[in-house]
Structure formats: structure tokens, C-alpha cells
Amino acid sequence: MSNYSKEKLHHALKHFFGYDEFRLTQLPIIESVLDGEDALAIMPTGAGKSICYQLPAMLLPGITIVVSPLIALMKDQVDALQANGINGAFLNSSQSTDEQRRIIQEAQRGNIKLLYIAPERIPANSEAFFDFLRKLNPSLFAIDEAHCISSWGHDFRPEYLKLAVLKKQFPGTPVIALTASADKVTQKDIVEKLALSHPKIYISSFNRPNIHYFIQPKRDAFRHILEYVKKHKDDSGIIYALSRASTEDIAGRLHEAGIKAAHYHAGMDAGERSRVQEAFQRDEYRVIVATIAFGMGIDKSNVRFVIHHDVSKNIEGYYQETGRAGRDGLKSDAILYYSFGDIMKLRKFAQIEDNPQQSAISQKKLQLMQEYCEHEGCRRQYLMQYFGEQFPAYCGSCDYCLSSLEEKDATVSAQKLLSAIVRTGERYGAGYIIDFLRGSASEKINPAHKDLKTYGIGKDLKREEWQWMVQQLLYHRFMDKTDDQYATLKLNEKSWKILKGESQLKLVMKKEKVETAQEEELEYDRELLKQLKSLRLDMADREHVPAYNIVADTSLVELAIYLPENFEELKHITGFGDYKISRYGANFLKVIQQYAKEHNLPSRIQFKAPKREKREKTTKTSSKPATSSTQNATLSMYRDGLSITEIAAQRKLSTITIEGHLAAFIGTGDLDISRFVSNSKLEQILSVIKSTGQTAAIKPIKDLLSDEFSYGEIRMAMEHFKRVNG
Ligand code: ADP
Ligand code: ZN
């Protein structure tokens, strides 16, 4: 067991970095590193790999050596450390020999806690290098981007092979290898090549909950993009396009429209590229329009949107690019404009001459990208399954889930369809029946049929809607289809019940798709946030560091919400460690105090108890989950004796929504489930909930139950379950 209690580690996290909670697998990784064990940590980009060695570095007696191939990122990391008052330094080929000598001396004097080294700095004669390291007496080695050591990985770097003897030279010093992407083979290869001894392997979920995924048809894409960028006028983002020419074109048009935008691609010279990149980091450009070349060295945490103007070649690339949004954990959008034409174009590129094997792989990957774009279901679920993770069918934050499903009574349409089949003698396939229903003038329609009463009674629905209806009826077994080549539609027992009005058909249909994420109700004052941002920019300029190095956007938003009054209260704000409080605290407090005085606002810091305390509190008092005013309105109408349908009609909401409101009160214990769901049904639903072990998504539960169970009933049963089982 570690010598460091969890309490102590939490305290250190807050003290050095200003964070309240560890993320994902950070805590167990840090504990095992401090126990002197080797570890391999696999975490998605932006999840917070650095803390896994930076925090141990602060607690261990000697120096921590970090090997990282990304020179551009090194400076940023070290700047970020220094912004927290931590003594970090780096050695790479961008420095003069004098500069390097100075840093080495500092390190040997024990004045540096973290030293970043580029692999090319490791001399060919590794004896000399290991001698040098031995003099530093390192406590820990961190190998960042560890997949670079494996020829299986997607970014093999031969220099990394020099690290293979590290463990032999320093058998007693723990090594932590970190990477954002490594499949099983690569993981094994990393462990073997680095000769890690009995390493623990930590794999975090690849899900990025704060990124919202949208796929939109590519029509008038530029106009949409411009609208979006204008609407999100305080945000910065990246727009990816396939060709160099189109990056220049789009950036040019944005620029003309008054947006601070620039283009970036591999055809520009290195100086120009790094100028653009740095200007973006410093928020001088708000939007970068780039080919995929952009982003490798980008560590800008407040990228609020990533837009794909064109379809990506494969899901790996797409996911990596969207992953550059929202590294600070705040809500961000990933929007892709999809057209089949793009797929056709990419198919040609995917054909690699004289390499049928590689071509086949690229084609397959492109096909899956197309499938993702055309997928009629939760985008996040598709992505997670692509990367080998299970995920429920509903995330609530992609275009599919946000388009909110609605249950509608489709009995009348079903009756029209079924009677058309009966009238024409159950001898036709779906195509004919739909033409008949829509009153097609086509000669293919039997003239005798044109005299039937049912001819043309289905003009109210579009062709595609009828096709969908046919599929639904077949799917729910409300009619049958013959197996032969004519696929004739036939009625069955259930069909007759519908025709006679003995049973109803309820179908879950999608409402209109939501275009992009809706603005959330913000509880902070935008004006104050603006002032805080501008103060931060001043400080950043003075110190020549990117603005988010002072403090992240998340922290500014918290300041604007909780309005801390003094240093003590400032401690509760995420990102304010002791060092940052002493360095920047007074300036921020001054702006907040001034604003609060002008607007007569009190501090709201009592609403921000640290998460851990909050959790303890809730378990002790087990307070009721809060309900909203719209839910309360429904409850009071229900108590006045109105039925669910009546409430829905009066409030102009769907019955599903009303049932959802009432379900919330089943969750609080104000309403009893027995009023809504029979005992036998409840039992069946509960057994399915238990078997799936989840109480978040309704759709998968519904899929496992027969049609008699409505969404409302399942929702209510879930709330009941949660209440009873805590
Ligand atoms: P990566 O895994 O890509 O190396 P980083 O280590 O650069 O990610 O971390 C991404 C961002 O998340 C940084 O801004 C970092 O400060 C922040 N971060 C890391 N851990 C935490 C935490 N426990 N709480 C809040 N923010 C964190
Ligand atoms: Zn979803």
C-alpha cells in the first residue's frame, strides 16, 4: 500500500494544480507510481495524462525525467508547470548549447523537479547519456507517447528504441509509459520493448462526454459555418477541410465576413505555420481552417468547436480531430458536413496503386466512416463501439439523441395501409401499395384499382414516410411479407385487430432534427466573464504565455458563477492552487468585487462545496432530487385530476414528456408507481433493468420488452427502481 493516503493525494492535487477531483484512472495510476511500480496508462487525448507523473514528481524526492517527442508541446507543458510555480525545464534541439548546459547544471544542483527530454537528445552513445542521468539520481521516468516505441503503433520513432535499456540501467526506478492510442498488440509491444516489470495497465474510457456530435447534410455548408461561428462569437475553433485550396478559400471568406480566421496547411513554410499556430494559441485568431496537418502539437484547452467541412477518411482520424475540442472539459461541439459526393471522391484517393492490401483496408475504413455518417442512432454509441467499448443507445448529446423521440399514435395510417393491401387482394409488394395509396397516375396501377375507395387515401404522407411505415409494421409483426422474390405484403391476426380498431399502433418517431446544440441556460453573467477574460489576456500578454496558462476557461466561468469574495473563498474555485491564488488571486478578486458591488450581488460560494464533501452530505441527509418548475406544473395539474393526455393537450407537450415529468415525482417519492404501472408489468420491467444493470437509457430496456410496454411506463419504473435502490 502507498505511503500516501488518498486524503494527502487530494490535498496535493489541490495545492499544486488547483483541481478538486482526480479524473478517470489518475488516482490509481498515481498511487501505483508512488508505490514504485511500473505502469502503462492509456487515456484519450485531453483526459489528463500529465498529472499522472507530474503529481508524483512533486511528492518524490528527486527529479522526474519525461521523454516526449513533441517539441512544440514541451514548451507549453513547462510553461503550464511554471504557471503553477513548479520548476520544470526541457532539453531539445531548439535550444542553444549554452542554454542546454545551464539547464543541465540546474538539474544537477537539484533545482528542477521535472525535466522534459526529446528522444533525439539521447546520444547515440547511450553510456554517456545514462551516466548523465545517474548523476541526476532520478526518482521516476515518464515515457510520453509511448506507442512511438512500437512498430505496430501508428507513429513509430526509431529513436525511442534507445529507451529499451532504461530499465536495465535503472532497475529500481519506476517507469510510467503513457499513450492516447494503443491497441492490444501495441500495448504488449510497449511493455516488452521498455522491459516494464509486472506493469499494471490502466485503460480509461475513450468517451468524451463534453463533446457533442453532430452530422449535418452538406448543403450550403459555408453559410451554416458562418452562421455558427458568428453565433458563438466568444469561442474559438478549428475547421478541417480536405484540400489546401479549400482551407485558403474558407479562411478567406470568413476573414471577409469579419471573423479573425487564418488557414494552415503543409504547403506553407515552417515559420508561417508556427506563427499561425502561436497566434491561435494566444487567441489572436479565433478560427483556424486547416488540413489534417494541423493539431499535432496543439495544446489549446479551450477549443470550443471542431468543424469538418468535408468527410474524414476514417473514424480514427475524425475522432482524433474532434478530440481537440473541449480539453478543458467544457461543452464543445463537433460538427461534420456529410455528403455522399465526398465519399466518392475519397474512394478514389483510397485506391493505392500496387498495394491491394492497403487499398482494401483504406476502403473498408472509409466505408465505416460512411456508415457512421448515415447511422440512424446514437452517434456516441457508434463511436464507442467502434473503439471496442460498450455504450448505451442514448447519450443525450448527439444530433440523434437531441432530436428527441416522440411517441405518436399511428393507428389511422396503419389502417389505411392495411386496407389498401386487403382491397388489392394481398397480391402486391410495398412499392405498388404505396403508389396506390398515394394515388399515383402511373400506368402500372391496375385501372380497376383506380376505382377503389382506398385509391389515393394516403396522399397525406410522403413516399419515404410510407416506406418507413411498412418497415415498422413488419418489424412489429403487424403484417407479414412473403419470402419469395415478389415480397408480397400479407395480413395476419394482429393486422385484423388494428383494422377492426381493437388494438392501437404507437410508434416512436423522431421529431425534426436539432441543428446544433441548443444554448444552455447560463447562470453566470456574460459581462463579468468578459471582464475576467480581458484581465486574463492582459496578464498573459505581460507574462508572454497563452491565456489559458494563467487559468482555464472553466475557472473563469466558475468565478463568474460563484463570485468569491476573498482568498479563502477563491480556494474553492477549480484551477486555483495555492500558487495561482497568491500570484493572480488579488487581481481577479478586485474585478469580481467591483462587479458585485455595482450589481449588488452576494458571494454564492456556499453553493460550491467541494465535490467530495457534497457527496458525503447527500448520503447523510439523503435529500430529495430536485424537480423543476415545469415538472411541478404537471404535478399540480395531475393532482387537480387531469389525465396524462389532458395535461399534454393543455400544455402543448407530448404525452411522453408529461409521463417523464410524473416519473420525476415517482423518483422523489411524491407519487406512487402503482397508480401508473400494474404490478405484473413493473416486475417485468424491473427484471430487465436489473439484467442490463443500467438506469440511464430507456431504448435498450424497451427493446428487450414486448410492445405492450410504453416508454412512459419504463421511465417510471426506472425512477422507482432508482429511488428504492438508492
Ligand atoms: P493529455 O492526456 O492529452 O496529456 P493533459 O495532461 O494535457 O491531457 O490534460 C488536459 C487538460 O486537463 C489540462 O488542461 C489539464 O490541466 C486538465 N486536467 C488534468 N487533470 C485534471 C483534473 N483532475 N481536474 C481538472 N482538470 C484536469
Ligand atoms: Zn447520442
Residues 6 or more apart in contact with residue 316 via CB below 8 angstroms: 181, 365
Q: What is the CB < 6 Å shell around ligand 1? A: 19, 21-23, 26, 43, 45-51, 301, 327-328, 552
The C-alpha atoms of residue 5 and residue 90 are separated, in whole angstroms, by 31
Helix (H, G, I), strand (E, B) or coil at 103: helix
Residue range(s) in the chain whose domain bears CATH number 1.10.10.10: 410-509
The residue among 73, 83, 259, 260 whose CA lies nearest residue 178 is 73
> What pTM value is reported for the model?
0.51
CA of 327 to the centre of ligand 1 (A): 7
What integer pLDDT is reported at residue 523 of this predicted model? 52
Q: Residue 303: enclosing H or E segment and its boundaries?
A: strand 303-308
Residue-wise pLDDT for 190-216, tens only, equals: 999 999 999 999 988 788 888 999 999
In degrees, rounded to 5, the angle at the alpha carbon of residue 538 between the alpha carbons of residues 604 and 576 is 40
Instruction: Tell me which residues of the chain have a pLDDT lower than 50.
Output: 512-522, 611-623
The C-alpha atoms of residue 41 and residue 205 are separated, in whole angstroms, by 12
Q: Is the dihedral of CA 687, 692, 694, 699 positive or negative?
A: negative
Grid cell of 170 as nine digits: 535503472
Q: Which residue minimizes the CA distance to atom 19 of ligand 1?
A: 48
What integer pLDDT is reported at residue 622 of this predicted model? 37
Q: Which residue minimizes the CA distance to atom 9 of ligand 1?
A: 48
In CATH, the number for domain 6-203 is 3.40.50.300
Ligand 1 pocket mutation pick from 13, 19, 145, 330 by most atoms within 8 angstroms of CB: 19
The residue among 163, 136, 133, 138 whose CA lies nearest residue 148 is 163
Q: Is the dihedral of CA 214, 215, 217, 218 positive or negative?
A: positive
Q: Which residue minimizes the CA distance to atom 20 of ligand 1?
A: 48
Q: Residue 526: enclosing H or E segment and its boundaries?
A: helix 526-543
The C-alpha atoms of residue 170 and residue 478 are separated, in whole angstroms, by 71
What integer pLDDT is reported at residue 219 of this predicted model? 86
**Gyration radius (Cα) of the chain, Å:** 30
Q: Which CATH number fits domain 625-724: 1.10.10, 3.30.1370, 1.20.140, 3.10.620?
A: 1.10.10
Atom of ligand 1 minimally distant from the CA of 49: 2
Helix (H, G, I), strand (E, B) or coil at 124: coil
Q: What sections of 640-710 are H helices per DSSP?
A: 644-651, 655-668, 679-692, 699-704
Residue range(s) in the chain whose domain bears CATH number 3.40.50.300: 6-203, 211-402
Atom of ligand 1 minimally distant from the CA of 301: 14
Give phi and psi for 258, each to the nearest 5.
90, 15
Residues 6 or more apart in contact with residue 652 via CB below 8 angstroms: none
Taking each helix axis from N to C terminus, what angle separates 315-322 and 379-386, rounded to the nearest 10 degrees?
A: 120
Question: Could you tell me the CA-to-CA distances from 484 to 191, 489, 705 in Å, in that order?
Answer: 56, 11, 30
The C-alpha atoms of residue 667 and residue 690 are separated, in whole angstroms, by 17
Which residues share a beta bridge with 264?
Answer: 290
Residue range(s) in the chain whose domain bears CATH number 1.10.150.80: 526-607
Q: Yes or no: say if 240 and 306 are a contact pair by the CB < 8 Å rule.
A: yes
| End-to-end CA separation in angstroms for the chain | 31
Q: Is the dihedral of CA 19, 25, 31, 35 positive or negative?
A: negative
Atom of ligand 1 minimally distant from the CA of 144: 4
CATH T-level fold of 526-607: DNA polymerase; domain 1 (1.10.150)
What integer pLDDT is reported at residue 643 of this predicted model? 83
**Domain 410-509 top-level CATH class:** mainly alpha
The architecture (CATH level 2) of 211-402 comes to 3-Layer(aba) Sandwich (3.40)
Grid cell of 559 as nine digits: 468565478
The C-alpha atoms of residue 118 and residue 430 are separated, in whole angstroms, by 65
What integer pLDDT is reported at residue 296 of this predicted model? 60
What integer pLDDT is reported at residue 522 of this predicted model? 37
CA of 93 to the centre of ligand 1 (A): 26
CA of 335 to the centre of ligand 2 (A): 14
Q: Which ligand is nearest to the CA of 54?
A: 1
Which residues share a beta bridge with 64?
Answer: 114, 140
CA of 283 to the centre of ligand 2 (A): 31
Q: Yes or no: say if 274 and 239 are a contact pair by the CB < 8 Å rule.
A: no
Characterize 364-377 residue by residue with b for buried, 16 or more Cβ atoms within 10 angstroms of its Cβ, and e for exposed: ebbeebbebbeeee
Q: Yes or no: say if 504 and 409 are a contact pair by the CB < 8 Å rule.
A: yes
